Amino acid sequence: MALRAALHQAGAAALSHLLRFAEPAVGQRTLPCSCGRQARYRELRAKTVLTVLGAATIARPYYLCPHCQQGQFPADRELDVADTEFSPGVRRMQALVGQDAPFDRGREQMHMLAGLEVTTKSVERVAEAIGADIALCEDEQAARAVQLELPIIIGPPVPVLYIELDGTGVPVVKKETVNRKGKADGQPAHTREAKLGCVFTQTKWDEDGFAIRDPDSTTYTGAIETAQEFGKRLYVEAWKRGWSRAEKKVVIGDGAEWIWNIAQQYFPGAIQIVDIFHARQHLWNLARLLHPGNTKRQNQWIGLHQKRWLDDGKIDKLAASLRALPVTDPELAKKVRTEADYFANNAARMDYPLFRSQHLFIGSGVVEAGCKTVIGHRLKQSGMFWTVNGANSILALRCCRLNRRFEDYWENRRAA
């Protein structure tokens, strides 16, 4: 470790030497200024930047506009160190550790693994800035998607493309929930719903006919935003993954209305499937309402016909039987009616025998696991409270990394 530290130190000295820019030649000492006039070369100015080798000094030309007093350092843009004291290499590390774990853990990791001293705040600031930049690129793509200007992505046909979506609460700071209703009546909300979507493909099924997800085929996208905005974001992700050349398209979600609104608007022609476990959960909730505290009767009620009808896709029969239940209590009758409507409205999305015969997935387990790994593990640890912007930036960064696009981001950044 001592030798490595010494080599880093020598490297930083060499780097400082390399980053000593020459004065511009006489005759090349002006630059266009944003005010439309010419900025003039003044002098070489030094700046210290933390690089992966440690602190290095950059000496670079400074230009000042005599008309509007605006100064500029063209070399900073070229080196991607404008308005920052960290090199791209260090920022890449800060973003990487910042999306993975709490910011202070990230600071510790940089110290332990890279021998770099940075503050917790700088890990937070840089990770959020990079995440915001990634989110901005996505927003631009979403805007182009609305104009139908996305580039066609060439590739082999996709047998089955799945889109699964779900929502999960992210704890936020107080100002983000002003005037928002909480889950319990009269209580303020402490969380905001992050929407998560995942896209994956399927080519095969196992010997029992159950669908097999293509290995490493899952990508994620998510944000705290309206269903309308999220729909666009998810559409861009699906497009990148071959939506236009998918032979079969499937959207899976729970019964939430926003999910099916998005499916209808952005993914027309897709097979819509209600996650079977959510549907079963609805039956169990009903059983508990009908036979409170009596698990034996609850089991009996479910086992008699209800579960079989659900699994066999006989949803009309199921809904009709719920409507025919002899319930006298008006409160309970209302709840039963709501459940009957839930099944009746989603009947086509619960044709499980048909979906099974086509070897399709009928559960939304992928996105539910995603809610834990993508959002829960990073954003919902105890004591965490996020701003919406902060949470969205880290979410964008985390998805970028999980989608194996983190290196592409830095490549593109360098190319730009």
Asked if residues 387 and 177 have their Cβ atoms less than 8 Å apart, the reply is no
Q: At closest approach, how far in Å is the CB of 70 from Zn ion?
A: 5
- x-or-dash pattern for Zn ion, window 40-69, by CB under 5 A? -------------------------x-xx-
Q: Which of 5, 7, 10, 35 binds Zn ion (CB under 5 A)?
A: 35
Q: Shortest Cβ distance from residue 69 to Zn ion (Å)?
A: 7
By CB under 5 A, what part of segment 4-33 binds Zn ion?
33
Taking the C-alpha atoms of residue 330 and residue 182, their distance in angstroms, rounded to an integer, is: 26
Q: Give the DSSP letter of residue 255.
A: S
Smallest gap from Cβ 21 to Zn ion, in A, equals 22
Query: For Zn ion, which is the closer residue by CB, 72 or 298?
Result: 72
| Residue 136 engages Zn ion in binding (rule: CB under 5 A) | no
- Decide: is 72 part of the binding site for Zn ion (CB under 5 A): no
Nearer to Zn ion, 70 or 387 (CB): 70
Residue 72 or 346 having the CB closest to Zn ion: 72
CB of 44 vs Zn ion, minimal distance in Å: 21
Label residue 262 exposed, middle or buried (CB < 10 Å: 0-12, 13-18, 19+): buried
Those residues with Cβ within 8 angstroms of residue 307's Cβ, 6 or more apart along the chain or in another chain: 280, 283
**Residue closer to Zn ion, measured from CB, 63 or 355:** 63
Q: Are 200 and 367 in contact (CB under 8 A)?
A: no
Write down the least CB distance from residue 32 to Zn ion, Å.
9
Q: How far apart are CA 86 and CA 108, in angstroms?
A: 17
- The strand ranges marked E within 214-286 are 219-223, 246-253, 271-274
The footprint of Zn ion on this chain (CB under 5 A) covers a number of residues equal to 6
Question: Alpha-carbon distance 100 to 98, whole Å?
Answer: 5
Distance in angstroms (rounded) separating the CA atoms of residues 102 and 378: 7
C-beta of 6 vs 68, nearer to Zn ion: 68
Residues that bind Zn ion (CB under 5 A): 33, 35, 65, 67-68, 70
